[in-house]
Structure 1
Amino acid sequence: MTAHAIQHAMQEAPEVTGLPTMPDGFSIDEDGWLVHESRADGDGEPRTTRICSQLEVVARTAAVHSGGHGYLLRFPTDTGFTQEWAMPASMLKGSAEELRGILLDMGLMIDANQRAHRLLTTYINLAAQRCAREGRLMTSTQRTGWHGDAYVLPDRVLGNPSQQRIVYQRADLTADGYRLAGTLEAWQRKVAALCQGNSRLVFGVAAALAPTLLAPCHVKESFGFHLYGESSSGKTTILTVANSVWGDPDALLESWNNTANGLEGIATTRSDGLLTLDELHQCDPRSAGKVVYMLAEGRGKGRAKETGVARERARWRLIFLSTGELTTADHIASEGGRSYAGQAVRAIVLPSDAGAGLGAFNQTHDHSGEAFANRIDRAAREHYGHAAAHFIEHLASKQQLAQEVFTRTRDHFRHRALPPGASGQVYRVGDKFALVVTAGLLASQWGIVDWDPEEITTACTVMFREWLSERGTSGDDEPRRALEQVRAFLERHGESRFTPLDGAARTVPTRDRAGYVGDHRGYRCYLFTADGWKEACQGFGPVRVARWLAEGGFLLTEGKGGRFTCQVRGIPGHSGPRKLYAVPAAILEGGEEA
């Protein structure tokens, strides 16, 4: 059957119900085992081969845009569970040893006979052909999250009012983290209720729900929040509570101590969902910035198959919550790296300390700080997975409502929290906080949390203003970073790489000269050569930095033709004037203007 025919059948075929027809020669014996009976030659007895315990091929699977072919398998185990797995067709290649290993791990019993192994592969292929003829076809996907109005998780599909026949299909089994435990009511009473009055915990729960709104609200960019602060201050408790929204907090918690390739695979299992990363210090500072960009970009590296043909890139759309004792910028700088403004609007840095003397908490509901953290931690590990599921079930049929609420909330948040004249970067971050507010408001409206809507808005507003205060400007961040870099260059090299023009005695000659230092137009100035200026502005571009510093009063210009250099006389070895970048020494004092 062609890819087009399969896609057409998936759109037109009736719902998959009942049991598929067993291929000729295969049956289930009285012990519940799948067996194959082969015809004997002449008068010999038929040969019966036991293959495995009962196994059904429920449907044939294929991705919407061709590829992604596979088989939906279902079987009972002797421990009383019914397992269901959409296996990729590629697992039948060769001896199919990997396939048998996974099935054994899941609880299927397989005969050790080599003939049984070959017959298992034959059975799956023949049963799949029967499924295709009977219209038992389903759409496969390797990415969690929204597919129309269906929200696909590794072990189940939520929402789906249009009754799409869609299934999550991967070779690895990654459903453990999305388990359910306890009840929603107990989670509301023992976890969500204790979050009240605590800005970081309220924010954490709302941020955990927010990624389900990325697609309905047409937010294309993935992003995250990094909470930094002292050890044992409650940062990990925030992640535990946030993860309890989705499933098992321990199974869902990831470490920064992952390779970029490893995080790619993890990210595809958290698409339209939450990714939590603990302990930033475990990540190599040289790769931390690249990981932030990768997660925010929403796609992995391009790779080639063994044949040289390009593999399909891993893709995702998510929100991540991260913790560490340092900010991402400080961690990157710990080994001489430099962070960029783009990182700062993708991984939004927030202090974990709530400012109440209780670490990450504003109040502890009549408990000591440690006892409170232990209580909510324990409750989150006993009752989990229900909040996100209920939220998605509501959202699946109310995506237009969610978009409208987000638009109103974004406009309100901009008016309430953003200062006049804020830059586009600040607006981008403000809109991300507004999405978190929207998630919290909808969760309250739909009865998933019993919080006053004003508390949700206030918690996010407070944390946004803390972010803005630590950023130091409501304008674009690049000019501030460029100013700091030039200032740091002068603090590091001002005595050694700038030759005095006033005849001051030097104990050692200037090596690797970056410029001169002397009086110019009534100011004490550092006079950069073109090469010295390029070095000081590395990573930003010399012209852009010159313009930013000139606008801020930290670079003297002659105002002719938009040039940013000055004609300076009296330079040793030059009979005439020389074009230099004149930076007043007042830049080292941290003032607003020279």
Structure 2
Amino acid sequence: MKFQLRDSGLYCYSSEEWQRVGGWIEVIARTRLVDKRRGHGALLQWKNMDGVMLQEVVYARILNGENSRQVRELLVDTGYPLEPTNTSWSRLQRYLLEEMAKAQPATTVDRAGWHGSIFATSGWTIGEADEKHHFVGQLAASPVLQESGTLEEWQANVGRLCRGNPLAIFSVGVALAAPLLKHAEIENGAKHIVGNSSGGKSTLLQIAASIYSSPSFVRSWASTSNGLSAASAEHNDILLALDEIGLARPEDVDTAIYQIVNGTSKLRATITGELAGQACWRTLVLSTGEIWLSEVFQRLGKEVKAGQETRLVEIPVFGRYGAFDELHEFCSAQELVDALKSATRHYYGTLFRAWIECLTERGDELSIYAKGEVKRLTDQWTTPLMASQVVRVMRRFALISTALGLACRNYLLPWTEEESEQAVHQVADAWIKSRGHIFNKEEYRILLKLNEYMRSRRHSFAPIEKGRAEPPYEGFKRMVDGEKQLLVRKANFLQFFGLPTRYMREIEFLIQKDLLETNERSRGTLRVKVNGRFERFFALWPDRIRSYLNSLSDLDGLSQFPTLPSENSEVTDNE
């Protein structure tokens, strides 16, 4: 069967004459997903009855399968003039399949974000590759990336008002850092800005959203954990802005924090019982709310886990005027907020495209630059005493500063690299001060209890030579190579420190810092012979503990460990 494409439409040679099949339509490319193993199909281009040119990718499994009517319905619904004959669709179907086999190959991507050196969105792709890339993901049906105004207008009306306001600059940085997660090889994370109502928190979200799109880009926490996971998948390599955590169900927050930051959805089964595809993503979340994470979990009767605190980092609003420090030409914070809200409704979306162009132009150097800057800033902002959980969060702060610095260097933002770095460091410092310490959460709890124990129980030990330590004695004391050692009975130790049956994770760092002696590594205990038989104790070195805690007594202004008294000072057991 012969086909001929004319300006007036598609024709088929049959019964010794050319018969019209339908309007003008052609196959632009033979498409498949990046792995070249799935998603084969064709990129179609056609004119509808109003002369409007349309494009769509259709999958071969549908075009050449039992559900081919879906393609026919798509074409007819968009205004394609298919001839009303019994054979027109079968002829058009054959034409499309034949042309697909001959067309030049192209790659389709089914989600936004990086695909090799290409960054794809529902509306555009930027970057160089051997083949053209076409977006066929969920955002194609419901685009969230829109543009209004010019980049210069955004800089003059939105960006300018961020200057002098650390939280506003920081919010822009979170938005810009999301596409850098891949190159810096940093895990997902969430920043949660907490403050009273009418403090400007929602305005910060709108500023961040204006990098990408209109104010409708901001989503609500009022969703199920599955809904939030789906939103995360759509926002791969793109900021996910969530407003008002207090609207969410606590159990959904509990699940969503892990799912969003871990970057994977729940495993699900198909109708046949087979394992369905699992969605994966990279994203940074900027969240706001009037309540802290501890208040959310209090409703569930739970405590916030250390992993949740490092995944969703809580930042208090700390500006002179709510979320702002600099009012610029305005007389009140409310006037500034109103101006920013108005500006973000008119100027948005242009900075993101320019930012992606900036990133793709750097090519292979981008990863080297991002990793180097993150390391430089992390080294600059951390100390050897900072625990791994804190350092991990500080790396994300460093990534945000890296993104801002690169954008400033390329004249995309109306402030300097130095202002960016200062703003992010100020926000990071506010987080540490609000957190109250620089230790892993589990370690910090043990240190607080250890400080309390050394102040109140250090006289509650009998000399080991007596061989008996009846209550109120906690155990024995002895000298080992000229150094005092306290042998605390296991049951007393576990009860005072509130440790679970499996306690090694909580006390491991005491062993690593030589504050706790053990000859049973898997138990963390010291097996000692008393009165001719072996007993198990937790063996503390009081002088080492006192020295270590006193060194932390005023660390960067975080006075969490009052200076311990000397061993010989008079202190009652109840103090």
Q: What TM-score does the superposition give when structure 2 sets the normalisation length?
A: 0.76
* 1:201 matched to 2:168: yes
Q: Hey, what's the Cα distance between the residues in 2 that align with 1:479 and 1:390? A: 44
State how far apart, in whole Å, the 1-side matches of 2:334 and 2:72 are: 47
Whether the 8 Å contact between 1:72 and 1:84 is mirrored in structure 2 is yes
2:188 to 217, 222, 225: 222
For 1:304, the aligned partner's letter is A
SS in 1 for 2:183: coil
Aligned mates of 2:82, 2:180 — CA distance in 1: 47
Report the counterpart of residue 154 of structure 1 in structure 2.
122
Change (3 A) 1:328 1:56: farther
- The verdict on how the C-alpha distance between 1:264 and 1:138 changes in structure 2, with shifts beyond 3 A counting, is farther
Equivalent positions of 1:390-469 (< 5 A) are 390-469=354-433
CA distance in 2, matches of 1:130, 1:551: 68
Task: Map 1:28-43 onto structure 2 (within 5 A).
Answer: 30=8, 39=14
Query: Matched residues in 2 for 1:482 and 1:99: separation?
Result: 64
Q: Percent identity?
A: 26
Taking a change above 3 Å as real, the CA distance of residues 61 and 49 of structure 1, as seen in their structure-2 partners, is closer
Matched, 1:237 2:203: yes
Alignment match, 1:7? none
Q: CA 1:24 to 1:313, structure 2 compared with 1: closer, same or farther past 3 Å?
A: farther
In 1, are the aligned partners of 2:49 and 2:81 still within 8 Å (CA)?
Answer: no
With 149-158 and 363-372 compared, the bigger mean Cα shift is at: 363-372
How far, CA to CA, are the matches of 1:235 and 1:101 in structure 2?
46
In the alignment, is residue 270 of structure 1 matched against residue 235 of structure 2? yes
Residues 505-524 of structure 1: CA distance to partner in whole angstroms, max 9, x if unpaired?
xxxxxxxxxxx99563699x
Whether 2:42 is the aligned partner of 1:71: answer: yes
Question: For the structure 1 residues 486 and 84, does the alpha-carbon distance in structure 2 shift closer, same or farther, using more than 3 Å as the test?
Answer: farther
**Alpha carbons of structure 1 residues 558 and 248: separation in structure 2 relative to 1, 3 Å:** closer
1:410 is displaced (CA, Å) by: 2.7
2: CA distance, partners of 1:374 / 1:104: 46
Please report how far the alpha carbon of residue 138 of structure 1 lies from its aligned counterpart in structure 2 after TM superposition. 0.9
Distance 1:46 1:81 in 2: 25
Q: Secondary structure at the match of 1:177?
A: coil
> Are 1:520 and 2:487 matched, yes or no?
no
SS at match of 2:390: helix
Residue-by-residue CA offset, 1:512-556 (whole Å, 9 max, x unaligned): xxxx99563699xx9995998599545x94233355689999x9x
Shift of 1:415: 4.1
Kindly indicate whether residue 92 of structure 2 is the aligned counterpart of residue 123 of structure 1: yes
> In structure 2, how many angstroms separate the alpha carbons of the residues matched to 1:213 and 1:385?
18
Partner of 1:74, secondary structure, is strand
Aligned residue for 1:59, secondary structure, equals strand
Q: Distance in 2 between matches of 1:25 and 1:276?
A: 51
Deviations 1:155-174 (A, max 9, x none): 2111x234531111236634
Q: 1:148 to 1:235 in 2, by over 3 A?
A: same
Contact in 2 for aligned 1:234/1:361 (Cα 8 Å): yes
Pair 1:257 & 2:225 matched: no
CA deviation map 1:30-82 (0-9, x unaligned): 5xxx6776856xx9x998666xx654432221113201223223345567754
- Structure 1 position 278, deviation (Å): 1.3
**Partner of residue 189, structure 1:** 156
Which residue, 275, 296, 312 being the options, matches 1:331? 296
After TM superposition, give the deviation of residue 451 of structure 1 in Å. 0.9
| 2:315–2:430 CA contact under 8 A, matched in 1 | yes
Secondary structure at the counterpart of residue 272 of structure 1: coil
Q: In the superposition, relative to structure 1, how do residues 204 and 422 fare at CA in structure 2: closer, same or farther (>3 Å)?
A: same
CA contact (8 A) 2:30 2:101 kept: yes
TM-superposed deviation, 1:435: 0.9
Q: 1:85 aligns with which of 26, 41, 56?
A: 56
Does the 8 Å contact 1:349/1:467 carry over to 2? yes
Cα deviations across residues 469-526 of structure 1 (Å, max 9, x unaligned)? 2222222222235678999xxxxxxxxxxxxxxxxxxxxxxxxxxxx99563699xx9
Provide the rounded CA distance (Å) in 1 between the counterparts of 2:79 and 2:259.
38
Contact 2:183 2:371 in 1 (8 A): no
3-state DSSP of counterpart to 1:164: coil
Q: Could you tell me which residue of structure 2 aligns to residue 142 of structure 1?
A: 110
Give the alignment partner of residue 343 of structure 1, picking from 291, 308, 317: 308
Q: Which runs of 5+ in 1 are unaligned?
A: 1-22, 488-515, 568-575, 584-588
Task: For residue 214 of structure 1, give the secondary structure of its aligned residue in structure 2.
Answer: helix
Aligned mates of 1:581, 1:334 — CA distance in 2:
36
Alignment-mate amino acid for residue 246 of structure 2: H
Q: Any conservation in 2 of the 1:279–1:323 contact (CA below 8 Å)?
A: yes
- Secondary structure in 2 matching 1:215: helix
Q: CA deviation at 1:361?
A: 1.1
Distance change >3 Å, CA 121–CA 62, structure 1 → 2:
farther
- Once the two structures are TM-superposed, the CA of residue 247 in structure 1 deviates from its matched residue by 1.8
Residue 202 of structure 1 aligns with an amino acid whose one-letter code is I
- TM-superposed CA distance for 1:371, in Å, is 1.8
Number of residue pairs matched?
Answer: 514
Q: How does 1:482-493 map to 2 (within 5 A)?
A: none
Q: What is aligned with 2:277? A: 312
Amino acid at match of 1:246: Y
Is 2:183–2:370's contact at 8 Å kept on the other side of the alignment? Answer: no
